[in-house]
Amino acid sequence: MTENRKAEHLRICLTEDVQAKKVTTGFEDVHLVHKAVPEFGLGDVDTSISMFGEELRAPIIIEAMTGGTPDALKINSNLAEAAEHFGLAMGVGSQRAALETPRLIDTFRVVREKGPNIFLVANLGLPQIVANNGVEAAESAVEMIKADALAIHLNSLQEAIQREGETEFHNSLERIGEVVSRLSVPVIVKETGAGIAMEDVRLLSQTGVKAIDVGGAGGTSWAAVESYREAGLKHRLGVTFWDWGVPTAISVAEAASSTDLKVIASGGLRTGVDVCKAVCLGASAAGLAYPLLKPADVGQLDHALGILIEEFRTSMFLIGAKNVVDLEQRPIVITGKMAEWLRLRGLSPEAYARRQKSHD
Ligand SMILES: Cc1cc2nc3c(=O)[nH]c(=O)nc-3n(C[C@H](O)[C@H](O)[C@H](O)COP(=O)(O)O)c2cc1C
């Protein structure tokens, strides 16, 4: 049952090691260039952005995590209060459980109650969109929480490893296109830890979606999570595919270079410096999930998010960016495996290093 599975996922993420082990995000190969003469004060730094016409106080999204199990009520309530307080966007976890079992709707609705003004993203998996009543399910998910956008999550890795996984993805692009044309809110497509490469970004761009959330490798691994729930062959698959996917920073660079859509960076971002690097690579905003789960469970989100935002503001100051738009023009140096990957894919790490030289 979806409800039990969601409770198990929460328990596993709160108690076991579910982070990538060998694959890294690639942000370690992205170097911000220090600006020793900023010519403005730290207090002048403006971290705000506009996302689909709504203002966020920083380009930070609390990524989709939970709902659909009684334990999720407190976590979602705390996340929404913090998103409201800090002026950040927030996604809920997959709403499938509540569509199947209406008594669970409150575990999602609490988010709109506690966060009346937040940019709120509804969530359903691609398998539910591909199913016969996909469009109706998408409309109900948005309506349930008065969402400002819908995220359709891509999780073929997880479904392939889960014993009850749904691995039927025929006509995915067509069905995503149908949902886009029927919904009154923008649709975001997001991966959940395996990244999205440029070829898929181009295909997805043609469906009418408004943003791509890369959900890259290097952070929470859903192969890892499922490996704890499985035995035998499926457990073995979870271990083998633990580090599968396109690293997050690489995925952001690939996506940003192949579409004009908004790109959201997520998967393994752990500090405000990572957020700054992601925006310099071309992301419009950056999302974090796992680092906020425990703080949400124990009521310490103000501390965790306060640090994250100050790290981001300080990074901006130290590279001479007064506002978030400036970040797109700051030079960054890409080295090591990431530089090699980008070159092999026909992209130019040099272009990032040389941009806006005349500005300085
Ligand atoms: C406990 C937990 C539950 C999650 N549930 C969902 C979900 O229901 N829908 C979804 O799109 N992503 C879900 N995710 C994936 C995150 O949104 C995110 O893509 C992924 O965890 C990578 O980010 P991170 O490394 O910061 O955790 C979940 C993540 C966690 C940690």
Strands 211-213 and 262-266: parallel
Q: Which of 334, 313, 252, 358 is nearest to 33 (CA)?
A: 334
**In testing the pocket of ligand 1, which one of 192, 270, 308 has its CB within 8 Å of the most ligand atoms?**
192
pLDDT digits (tens, 9 = 90+) for 181-203: 999 999 999 999 999 999 999 99
For every residue of 211-275, which 3-state class applies, written as one string? Answer: EEECCCECCECHHHHHHHHCCHHHHHHHHHCCCCCCEHHHHHHHHHHHCCCEEEEECCCCCHHHH
CA 158 – CA 226 distance, rounded (Å): 7
DSSP state of 331: -
Point out the ligand 1 atom lying closest to the alpha carbon of residue 216: 22
Both tokens of residue 209? 């979606």
Q: Is 9 in the pocket of ligand 1 (CB under 6 A)?
A: yes
Q: Is 221 in the pocket of ligand 1 (CB under 6 A)?
A: no
Contact 138, 129 (CB under 8 A): yes
Alpha helix stretches (DSSP H) within the chain: 2-15, 72-86, 96-100, 106-114, 126-130, 134-145, 156-161, 172-182, 198-205, 222-229, 232-240, 248-258, 272-281, 290-298, 301-318, 324-327, 336-344, 349-354
Q: Residue 359 above 70 pLDDT?
A: no
Q: Is 192 in the pocket of ligand 1 (CB under 6 A)?
A: yes
Q: Is 215 in the pocket of ligand 1 (CB under 6 A)?
A: yes
pLDDT reported for residue 43: 97
CA 203 – CA 213 distance, rounded (Å): 14
CA 25 – CA 288 distance, rounded (Å): 13
Burial (CB < 10 A; 0-12, 13-18, 19+), residue 249, is buried
Q: Is 65 in the pocket of ligand 1 (CB under 6 A)?
A: yes
Q: What is the mean pLDDT of residues 111-140?
A: 96
HSE toward the beta carbon, residue 104, CA cutoff 13 A: 23
Q: Is 266 in the pocket of ligand 1 (CB under 6 A)?
A: yes
Q: Is 18 in the pocket of ligand 1 (CB under 6 A)?
A: no
CA 197 – CA 250 distance, rounded (Å): 9
Q: Is 10 in the pocket of ligand 1 (CB under 6 A)?
A: yes
Q: What is the mean pLDDT of residues 305-314?
A: 98
Encoded amino acid at 52, one letter: F
The answer to whether the pTM exceeds 0.75 is yes
**Residue 20 CA: distances (Å) to CA of 12, 221, 222, 275:** 15, 6, 9, 19
pLDDT reported for residue 146: 98
CA 267 – CA 191 distance, rounded (Å): 9
Q: What is the mean pLDDT of residues 47-59?
A: 97
pLDDT reported for residue 269: 98
Measured in Å, residue 64 CA sits from the centre of ligand 1 at 5
pLDDT reported for residue 358: 46
Query: Confidence class of residue 3 from pLDDT cuts 50, 70 and 90?
Result: confident
Q: What is the mean pLDDT of residues 285-300?
A: 97
Share of the chain above pLDDT 90, in %: 95
pLDDT reported for residue 54: 95
Average pLDDT, the chain: 96
Residue nearest to atom 11 of ligand 1 (CA): 153
Q: What is the mean pLDDT of residues 42-57?
A: 97
Both tokens of residue 86? 């800090």
pLDDT reported for residue 217: 98
Measured in Å, residue 289 CA sits from the centre of ligand 1 at 6
Query: Confidence class of residue 357 from pLDDT cuts 50, 70 and 90?
Result: low
